[in-house]
Amino acid sequence: MRLRPGIITRAWRESSNLAQLVPEVRTIESARSELRWITEYVHEKMTDRASKGMKVSESDLQSKISHLCYLRGQKGFPLQYLLGSQPFGDSLDIKCRRGVLIPRWETEEWGIKIAQAIRRSHPFFTAGAREGVDQLSAETGSEMTVSETRSPTFKVLDLCTGTGCLALLFAEQLRPPMGKSVYVEGVDISQNAVELARRNRAINAGVFEQYGTSVVFTYADIFALDISSDHFDIIIANPPYVSEEHYYSCRHTTRSVRRFEPKHALLGGIDFYRKIFQLAREGAVPAVVCEVADQWQVDEIVEECIDDELEATRMSDSAGTVRTVIAWRKESSAWII
């Protein structure tokens, strides 16, 4: 959608930096927010340089701010790549870099909802608790039962982990009871992603290690993966799911995403979901949660991947878009929702 000339004029009246940002972020309000974040980032970096005895001038500071605004607004660089990180969950700082998909708010939102539902309802975390189960049953219209779990470790498998944001989010949210532990494993085919995820684990270790939670990141192709002997309690995944049609459509995928984020982490489809649910069947994993594009993709997944052993539902994000497909084995408790 083309910008109205008046928006640029209004932005120029406030500052040239604001005007540079508007073409990419589209609104003055969003541009103000991004200019504030860029300014804070540059101030922090310049303060760090000054603390090391390096000379820093006001002109240096303003020049750096202006350059980042130019890259963001005129060249379309994603803000997270420019600033190098994205806040995630309650207290995570997820480092970002070219070649690895940027964490999205939609992923954060459903990740928190699912993790909190597990912590509130699964007998591993609260034996026989009904309050959270009943509440979520009412929301989804699904009947649920609670079964006992005897394992001392709750195990989460995060497929297509990317920056590791979902794996680390579950590690942050799932605080195990005394005497028990949580184990989270993230898997990705990109060595670049695995290295970044391991860096994010090291940076954020203090958030979850105090609760007896461990996180590992593994380089592997999910299409060659075998988890049949690993006894995971849940698979979570944000696989490549953007169709070719939507990838090249300006309505669905922005210029910034197409130009700067890894195509292999975006383009995908039903093959990934088939493999994810195959892994769940072979490993007798009680529950699976996958991010999706919208309702039509859920319909396709339910038709091709959900067999007679599974129940399934879906969950929308706060913008009203269907964002996840949630499935669980019928003989298991449906604590996942």
In sequence order, the β-bridge partners of residue 234 are 156, 287
Show the tokens assigned to 79.
Answer: 């803000």
How far is Cα of residue 51 from the mean position of the Cα atoms in its chain?
34
How many Cα atoms sit within 13 Å of 245 on the Cβ side?
2
Q: Which long-range contacts (CB under 8 A, 24 or more apart) does 89-94 make?
A: 89/168, 89/169, 89/172, 89/173, 90/172, 90/173, 91/172, 91/207, 92/165, 92/168, 92/169, 92/172, 92/200, 92/204, 92/207, 93/203, 93/204, 94/163, 94/164, 94/165, 94/168, 94/200, 94/204
Domains of the chain, start order: 5-76 (no CATH), 98-329 (3.40.50.150)
Residue 222: which residues within 8 A CB-CB, separation 6 or more? 159, 160, 187, 189, 272, 275, 276, 279
In which residue are the tokens 């944000």 written? 238
Show the tokens assigned to 19.
Answer: 């005007």
CB 302 within 8 A of CB 312: yes
One pLDDT digit (tens) per residue for the chain, 337 residues: 667 778 888 989 999 999 999 989 889 999 999 999 999 999 999 998 888 888 888 999 999 999 999 999 999 999 999 999 999 999 999 999 999 999 999 999 999 999 999 998 898 998 644 444 444 444 444 444 433 445 799 999 999 999 999 999 999 999 999 889 999 999 999 999 999 999 999 999 999 999 999 999 999 999 999 999 899 999 999 999 887 777 777 777 777 888 899 888 888 889 999 999 999 999 999 999 999 988 888 899 999 999 888 899 999 999 999 999 999 988 766 566 5
Q: What is the 3-state secondary structure (H, E, C) of 18-57?
A: HHHHHHHHCCHHHHHHHHHHHHHHHHHHHHHHHHCCCCCC
Q: What is the pTM of this model?
A: 0.87
